[in-house]
Amino acid sequence: MKLGIDVGGTHTDAVILRNDGKLLSWKKQLTSSDIISSIELAAKEVLSEAGIAPHQIDGVFVGTTHVQNALYQPVNLSKTALVRITKKPSLVEPAVLWPNQIKKYIEKVYHLKSFYDYTGTMSETTTPSHDEIKQICIDIEKNKIESICIVGVYSPLYEAEEIYIWESIKSHLPEISITMSHEIASIGFIERENATLLNAIFSKVIRQAMIDLSVLCKKLLLNCPCWITQNDGSLMEIQEAIDYPIFTIGSGVTNSFRGASILSGLKECIVVDFGGSTIDIGKILNGQPEASLGSTSIFSIDVNMQVPKMYSLPYGGGSLISVKKESVQINETIVSDLEQQGISWGGNTWTLTDSFLKVYPGSFSDEKMTSKGLSKLSTEACQKVINKVTGEIKEKINRLELKSEGFPVVLVGGGSSLLVDRLFGKYKKVYHPAGHHISNAIGACFAPLSAKTDKVFWLNDRTKQEVIEDETESLFQQLLDKGAKSESIELVSIEEFPFDYLKGEVLRIRLKALGDLEFG
Amino acid sequence: MRKIGKQEIEDIAIGAALLGTGGGGDPYIGKLMALQAIEEYGEVTLLDVDEVPDDALVVPSSMMGAPTVMLEKAPSGEEAIEAFQLLEKYLGKKIYATFPIEAGGVNSMIPFALAARLGLPVIDADGMGRAFPELQMVTFYLDGIPATPGVFADEKGNTALLSTINNIWTERIARAATIQMGGSTMVAMYSMTGKNLKESGIRNILKLEEEIGKAIRFAKQNNVNPINEVLNKVGGFELFRGKVSDINRKTETGFARGTATFDGLNEYKGETLKLSFQNEHLLARTEQRLLCVTPDLIAVLDAETGLPITTEGIRYGARCVVIGIPCHPKWRTEKGIETVGPKYFGYDVDYVPVEELMKKGVAL
């Protein structure tokens, strides 16, 4: 039996699934500010409704948008020190183009001299001296730094330098959280540094929630493993989530995409997740959420790590509608509780959901709804809202499609009922599976284990094929160690990136392997 | 004469990525270096070619090697300064101003980062009007201006002064040394007089890049079609509209070489475009027709934003507009075609200017 939990910005959902995938029970709670009390409530209720004893649960699967939310409302961020290891201080200073409200958390920058060359030969015999590192540690303590970030030039080729500095600092400051860049992202110094800095700055955000989660599992007598889903939709352990919070930034939405695939039984589809504050549109290929390629940006900070490939429209079911100079506007602000303030529930706030219900009253209903207030809205204005929303969704779907005949579309999320029959008429297959409103929590239960590598190799003494074989073997071993079923393990992607304008045999290789969790 | 500040740099970077025709390296790291230098040392003076005295010593500044490596090294900026200082010492003359060797990619940004720090002006001219991969592929070479004496320098503090018998040898020696020096170097070659630059350079190229960048930015702000704006600015042609359906990169040689296939959309439905690239886009053709071939420029733009896409950035499913732009007339000479035409890159087609191909089409 699996317990799946999705902690969203507004709601926390819990589901109990049998290992064969059958849904036994589900519950929805408003998300509490500490997240943990809403998880506790939802988990308790869903267990009791299914009549399941805690010891029958084989695994707890949690997805959360907690870190992502922290970006938009910066709270609990860490004062961070950056240790840069380069040949000479770079002309480009850290965090050049960052927004100030996040940049201000970078308290100190230290420079150490790199002893590596890109060929891997140590060009200088002197490693940074113990005195030098000790001085840095004293300064870090004096400045009450909470988190450290180590970024060494060429670390995607050779990580030893970062590890050496990490060990030296740990020997002086054993308690402090330290992020090393080679564990976060690949080649491209500035973008890797950005991602690593973000991880360090977020080190406190998820820590308490994760510690509380471990405690809660014990309290509820859930003595099974507890997993968090990460950006690529695969699982990581609680300790990993504490160490790499940046990897959970896309956690919620990948679960939703995966859930849509599970619920519809489709291995290839476009997913539209219609939520309260955003509408996310993504793609499932071979049963897996598609990841972005190349650089991306988080809160307008350039980073070179993989996140789910998706388009996010900045509005959802709870967005406020206003009319300015005869043009209808969908605002990015949302009502705090749609079922209190929305016109369709007797409130007096005109929302996106109300616009749909005005034109298509039968889209969905619950006992608390009333159509009284809707009569004062203009049908024409509401139709304009609907046209804008469906038009933009269709345009994004179109961008994700490979061939003109296209993929089927799966609608999920709390607002998805509004879209049924509104998108393509008979021209395209659109699914609206049962369980669409708990797609995230269900998706989390089906997340696989993953292992990946993204490194740069010299092919002097080995062929490309040998490098790939060696790395694949090590990935498979990692998956076995994490508890994957050996027959389920497979290499799902091999990507190669040559170094342009350089005729040498140097190649960046990115490999990813997946495996299913072994139960019982 | 005018000043170049941060907004101008942002615009020029977009134009540079477009004229980079898929290669030249993403201007990203160069842009950061230029922005940082302007932040610290103030805006950079941009000179028109005619404002430069005939006898002034002018030297382009650029990087050589793999932009990917440069992205990792995060240059200190000292390399380029050391290269300039060594060259000045050897020639016994002060450098009056610098300029980009090529319009495309990262090298359009390097001169600004250097000029801000040294307090030198930048001249609005380059030697390609686009991006090309090799040192001799400049209009200066066509006019017999030697690349050397020239200097290249690395981040470790090594500098090398080179004097060669011709520019092909400069390319061979410098490329090999660059690999040894860590995959990318900062280069100060093709030093020349103001008079040389007036005769052999391609004028107003930074102005064009800035206008391209501005057009794309304004189009976004005003919600108008950026592609038409860009085509107007560069005097180009829409070659094709389509979705990337296949991308094939051969990596054996360590060069970004390959082809991309686009399935036609709108009025191109039913047709496919094959785009061949070697760092830069070099050849565009459908099954029936040749559309555009090097040295004319082929740029791939995002159909929605108009932003240029590099060869590395071409992804399955991306909706693109492929455009062709006539190259500078200097490339359309016999020596120009020999240096950078389709045969040099191993394609068995004859060069035909893009505007003629557009008029009648040449059957394959």
| Cβ contact, residue pair A187, B76, below 8 Å | no
Instruction: Report d(CA B165, CA B171) in Å as an integer.
Output: 11
Name the domain count of chain A: 4
User: Do residues A236 and A64 touch, judged by C-beta distance below 8 A?
Assistant: no
User: B279 with B321, same domain?
Assistant: yes
Residues of chain A with C-beta less than 8 angstroms from the C-beta of B24: none
Candidates A329, A339, A333, A338; CA nearest to A319 is A333
User: B178 with B74, same domain?
Assistant: yes
Residues of chain B with C-beta less than 8 angstroms from the C-beta of A156: 72
Higher pLDDT, B249 or A276: A276
- Chain A residue whose CA is closest to B156: A87
Instruction: Report d(CA A396, CA A393) in Å as an integer.
Output: 5
Does B212 map to a domain?
no
| Cβ contact, residue pair B312, A497, below 8 Å | yes
User: A309 with A171, same domain?
Assistant: no
Report the gap between the CA of B53 and the closest CA in chain A (Å): 31
- Chain B residue whose CA is closest to A85: B73
Does B121 map to a domain?
yes
| Cβ contact, residue pair B74, A399, below 8 Å | no
Q: Which residue has the tokens 């994957």?
A: A484
Give first-to-last CA distance, chain B, whole Å. Answer: 48
Does B210 map to a domain?
no
Report the gap between the CA of A155 and the closest CA in chain B (Å): 9
Does B213 map to a domain?
no
Does B219 map to a domain?
no
Instruction: Report d(CA A307, CA B163) in Å as an integer.
Output: 49
Q: How high is the pLDDT of residue A64? A: 87
The model's confidence at residue A293, banded by pLDDT at 50, 70 and 90, is low
Q: Indicate the residue among A249, A277, A307 that finishes a domain.
A: A249
User: B298 with B151, same domain?
Assistant: no
- Taking residues A123-131, what's their average pLDDT? 67
- Chain B residue whose CA is closest to A92: B33
Does B130 map to a domain?
yes
User: Do residues B105 and B20 touch, judged by C-beta distance below 8 A?
Assistant: yes
Does A442 map to a domain?
no
Candidates B64, B19, B200, B35; CA nearest to B125 is B200
Q: Which of residues 38-97 of B touch A (CB under 8 A)?
A: 64-69, 71-78
User: A281 with A425, same domain?
Assistant: yes
Angle made by CA atoms B40, A102, A335, in degrees to the nearest 5: 135
Instruction: Report d(CA B171, CA B147) in Å as an integer.
Output: 9
Q: Say yes or no: B23 contacts chain A, CB-CB below 8 A.
A: yes
User: B84 with B182, same domain?
Assistant: yes
User: B181 with B303, same domain?
Assistant: no
- Chain A residue whose CA is closest to B245: A402
User: A433 with A351, same domain?
Assistant: yes
Instruction: Report d(CA B70, CA A389) in Å as an integer.
Output: 43
Residues of chain B with C-beta less than 8 angstroms from the C-beta of A400: 317
Residues of chain A with C-beta less than 8 angstroms from the C-beta of B312: 294, 497, 500
Residues of chain A with C-beta less than 8 angstroms from the C-beta of B78: 88
Residues of chain B with C-beta less than 8 angstroms from the C-beta of A499: 66, 68-69, 183, 254
Does A388 map to a domain?
yes
User: A23 with A99, same domain?
Assistant: no
Report the gap between the CA of A311 and the closest CA in chain B (Å): 13
- Buried b vs exposed e over B233-249: b needs ≥16 C-beta within 10 Å? bbebbbbbbbbbbebeb
Q: How many CB atoms lie within 10 A of CB A339?
A: 15
- Which of A191, A404, A504 minimises the CB distance to B179? A504
- pLDDT tens string B12-45: 999 999 999 988 877 888 899 999 999 999 999 9
| Cβ contact, residue pair B33, A156, below 8 Å | no
Does B218 map to a domain?
no
Tell me, what CATH number does B330's domain have? Answer: 2.40.390.10
Range ranked top by mean pLDDT from A67-81, A458-472, B235-249: B235-249
Q: Which residue has the tokens 């016994």?
A: B92
**Torsions phi, psi of B303, nearest 5?**
-60, -30
Tell me, what CATH number does B157's domain have? Answer: 3.40.1610.10
**Torsions phi, psi of A349, nearest 5?**
-110, 125
| Cβ contact, residue pair A500, B25, below 8 Å | yes
User: A284 with A136, same domain?
Assistant: no
User: A476 with A421, same domain?
Assistant: no
Contact partners, residue A330, CB within 8 Å, separation at least 6: A315, A319, A320, A321, A352, A385, A388, A389
Candidates B272, B268, B269, B265; CA nearest to B288 is B272
Q: Indicate the residue among A437, A463, A484 that finishes a domain.
A: A437
| Cβ contact, residue pair B72, A187, below 8 Å | yes
User: B10 with B128, same domain?
Assistant: yes
Tell me, what CATH number does A1's domain have? Answer: 3.30.420.40
User: B148 with B251, same domain?
Assistant: no
User: A172 with A49, same domain?
Assistant: no
Tell me, what CATH number does A117's domain have? Answer: 3.40.1360
Question: What DSSP letter does each residue of B114-169 carry, written as one string?
Answer: HHHHHT--EESEESSSS--SSTT-SHHHHTT----SEEEE-TTS-EEEE--SSHHH
Q: How high is the pLDDT of residue A171? A: 94
- pLDDT tens string A294-321: 678 887 888 988 788 888 888 888 899 9
Higher pLDDT, B161 or A92: B161
Residues of chain B with C-beta less than 8 angstroms from the C-beta of A502: 65-66, 68-69, 179, 183, 254
Which residue pairs, CB below 8 angstroms and at least 24 apart, start in A329-335? A330/A385, A330/A388, A330/A389, A334/A276, A334/A277
- pLDDT tens string A498-515: 666 655 567 778 888 999
| Cβ contact, residue pair A504, B183, below 8 Å | yes
Q: How high is the pLDDT of residue A504? A: 54
User: Do residues A510 and A497 touch, judged by C-beta distance below 8 A?
Assistant: yes
Give the SS3 label for residue A13. Answer: strand
What is the distance of C-alpha A251 from the center of its chain? 3
Report the gap between the CA of A447 and the closest CA in chain B (Å): 25
Does A69 map to a domain?
yes
- Which of B35, B65, B156 minimises the CB distance to A502? B65
Report the gap between the CA of A196 and the closest CA in chain B (Å): 14
| Cβ contact, residue pair B253, A503, below 8 Å | yes
Give the tokens for residue A361: 């009253």
Q: How many CB atoms lie within 10 A of CB B288?
A: 10
Does A261 map to a domain?
no
Does A257 map to a domain?
no
| Cβ contact, residue pair B73, A87, below 8 Å | yes
- Relative to beta strand B97-99, strand B57-60 is parallel
Q: How high is the pLDDT of residue B254? A: 46
Chain B interface mutation, best of A502, A507, A508, A509, highest count of B Cβ atoms under 10 Å: A502
Does A358 map to a domain?
yes
User: B44 with B147, same domain?
Assistant: yes
Does A136 map to a domain?
yes
Residues of chain B with C-beta less than 8 angstroms from the C-beta of A92: 29, 32-33, 36, 74
User: B17 with B124, same domain?
Assistant: yes
Q: Say yes or no: B272 contacts chain A, CB-CB below 8 A.
A: no
User: Do residues A72 and B17 touch, judged by C-beta distance below 8 A?
Assistant: no
- Which of A87, A123, A502 minimises the CB distance to B183? A502
| Cβ contact, residue pair A154, B312, below 8 Å | no
| Cβ contact, residue pair A96, B36, below 8 Å | yes
Name the domain count of chain B: 2
| Cβ contact, residue pair A501, B65, below 8 Å | yes
Does A258 map to a domain?
no
- Which of A117, A190, A500 minimises the CB distance to B68? A500
Report the gap between the CA of A433 and the closest CA in chain B (Å): 26
- Chain B residue whose CA is closest to A114: B156
- Which of B66, B76, B311 minimises the CB distance to A499? B66
Instruction: Report d(CA A289, CA A253) in Å as an integer.
Output: 10
Instruction: Report d(CA A481, CA B89) in Å as an integer.
Output: 62
ipTM of the complex: 0.82
| Cβ contact, residue pair B73, A500, below 8 Å | no
User: B341 with B236, same domain?
Assistant: yes
Report the gap between the CA of A195 and the closest CA in chain B (Å): 14
Instruction: Report d(CA B300, CA B314) in Å as an integer.
Output: 9
Report the gap between the CA of A497 and the closest CA in chain B (Å): 8
Q: Indicate the residue among B203, B238, B267 that finishes a domain.
A: B203
Which percentage of chain A shows pLDDT scores above 70? 94
The model's confidence at residue A127, banded by pLDDT at 50, 70 and 90, is low
User: B50 with B179, same domain?
Assistant: yes
Domain hosting A274: range is 266-437
Q: How high is the pLDDT of residue A498? A: 64
- Buried b vs exposed e over A287-301: b needs ≥16 C-beta within 10 Å? bbbbbbeebbebeeb
User: A285 with A324, same domain?
Assistant: yes
Does B214 map to a domain?
no
Residues of chain A with C-beta less than 8 angstroms from the C-beta of B315: 293
Chain A interface mutation, best of B10, B31, B32, highest count of A Cβ atoms under 10 Å: B32
- Chain A residue whose CA is closest to B311: A500
- pLDDT tens string A387-430: 999 999 998 888 787 655 578 999 999 889 998 888 777 667 89
User: A298 with A417, same domain?
Assistant: yes
pLDDT in tens, chain B (364 residues): 999 999 999 999 999 999 999 888 778 888 999 999 999 999 999 999 999 999 999 999 999 887 777 888 777 888 999 999 999 999 999 999 999 999 988 899 999 999 999 999 999 999 999 999 888 999 999 999 999 999 999 888 899 999 999 988 998 899 888 888 878 899 999 999 999 999 999 999 999 999 999 999 998 888 788 899 999 999 999 999 998 888 777 654 445 678 999 999 888 999 999 999 988 999 999 988 999 999 999 999 988 788 898 887 787 777 899 999 999 999 999 999 999 999 999 999 999 999 999 986 555 5
User: A364 with A467, same domain?
Assistant: no
| Average pLDDT score, chain A | 87
Chain A interface mutation, best of B251, B279, B282, highest count of A Cβ atoms under 10 Å: B251
Q: Say yes or no: B32 contacts chain A, CB-CB below 8 A.
A: yes
Q: Indicate the residue among B203, B238, B258 that finishes a domain.
A: B203
**DSSP-assigned beta bridge partners for residue B202:** B126
Higher pLDDT, A423 or A72: A423
User: A320 with A417, same domain?
Assistant: yes
Domain hosting B141: range is 2-203
Instruction: Report d(CA A432, CA A263) in Å as an integer.
Output: 9
Per residue, the 3-state secondary structure of A268-323, as one string, reads CEEEEEECCCCEEEEEEECCEECECCCCEEECCEEECCCCECEEEECCCCCEEEEE
Sign of the torsion angle spanned by Cα atoms B42, B43, B49, B50: negative
Q: How many CB pairs under 8 A join A and B?
A: 139
Q: How far is CA A293 from CA A269, A305, A506, B67, in A?
A: 19, 9, 20, 18
Q: How high is the pLDDT of residue B224? A: 82
Higher pLDDT, A519 or B151: B151
Q: Which of residues 103-132 of B touch A (CB under 8 A)?
A: 113
User: B169 with B232, same domain?
Assistant: no
| Cβ contact, residue pair A86, B28, below 8 Å | no
- Taking residues A371-400, what's their average pLDDT? 88
